Amino acid sequence: MNKIIYLGPFASQLHAHVALKQSIGYKYETDARHLLRFDHFTAEKYPEATALSKEIVMEWCAKKSYESQANQCSRTSIIRQFAIYLENTGQQAYVMPKAYYPSKTQYSPYIYTEDELRRFFAQTDQCHYVSECPYRHFIMPAYFRLLYTCGLRLSEARLLTVGDVDLKSGILTISHSKKDNNRLVPMSQSIAERCREYFTNVHKNSPDSNYFFPGLDGKPMTLQNVYHNFRHFLWKAGISHGGRGKGPRVHDFRHSYACHCLKRWVLEGKDLQVYLPVLKTYMGHDSFHETAYYLRLTADIYPNISIKLEGCYPDIIPSLGGDINE
């Protein structure tokens, strides 16, 4: 790339910072160009600056009307690194706290009602034969029901092979899931029976290595294909979608499964201290915190059981801030 020339009050420090980054193996080309804009900003507004003050940093990092939240965070991170360099070399600088601006708006999981689930699955049953994807009308009713009834992640179901689905015992083998975890997932009697019917229609002579929900050319269904069908069934079922990033999402079937389980257990008077470890194992959570997150979500979604949850389990209900893609 053409050498960037900085001319503002921090020119020498910027050159040294970029040179250090590149000397230890970073290309640092895009960030260096971002810093050129910062150089122009300080040359125009703070030409006499001798230290990277909080005032300079906050004004530069303020969100522009035209930019995304992610872009603001990126700009902030670049200046934060520069400030750390200045501080490490004994110069005065304000270091913006890490994650001062959230990288994105927290998504609130959409919990489907039982009526919405009935309507959605009814629409998958209306799926018709198309020559381009001859098994589509068999795949969609089984695939989306399996997501919800087993609380699976989208690709845990998408990448199942025939050998992973034990139709005799009604148990799924989930391999190489999130964080490379493996687990066994028992199916309910009704979904196991549906999978047996599906197998008869699609996999009579299939080897164990074939994908249980095949796409084109023996490959698994693509994420795009799943999402396209999901949006179609959602619309047909009369369930409103808020637009990109708003939801509902396919992953919300998993969130709904967990919340519906907890709601049922609370209303049945089950001891959640006993049942939560079961849910943790069944859903393949890496830590109890991931499972406990659903306690707060369930309490917020169903206010009528909130008091009971808070009264019985005040010490294990976390603040609502879990990993929405767990």
Predicted confidence (pLDDT) per residue in 118-147, tens digit: 999 999 999 988 777 889 999 999 999 999
How far is Cα 157 from Cα 90, in angstroms, rounded to an integer?
54
pTM over 0.85: no
State which of 6-10, 172-176, 212-216 shows the largest mean pLDDT. 6-10
pLDDT exceeds cutoff 70 at 148: yes
User: What is the distance, to the nearest Å, from the Cα of residue 29 to the centroid of all Cα atoms in its chain?
Assistant: 30
pLDDT tens digit string along 181-216? 789 999 999 999 999 999 999 998 899 999 999 988
Beta carbons within 8 Å of 126's beta carbon, 6+ residues apart: 236
Burial of 6 (0-12, 13-18, 19+ CB in 10 A): buried
- Summary mean pLDDT of the chain: 87
Where would I find the H helices in 151-237? Answer: 154-158, 189-202, 223-236
How far is Cα 75 from Cα 83, in angstroms, rounded to an integer?
13
Helix axis angle for 303-312 and 288-301, nearest 10°, is: 140
The pLDDT confidence band at residue 1, using thresholds 50, 70 and 90, is: very low
How far is Cα 57 from Cα 213, in angstroms, rounded to an integer?
52
The one-character DSSP state at 101 is S
**9 token code pair:** 């009050």
The most distant pair of C-alpha atoms in the chain lies apart, rounded to whole Å, by: 78
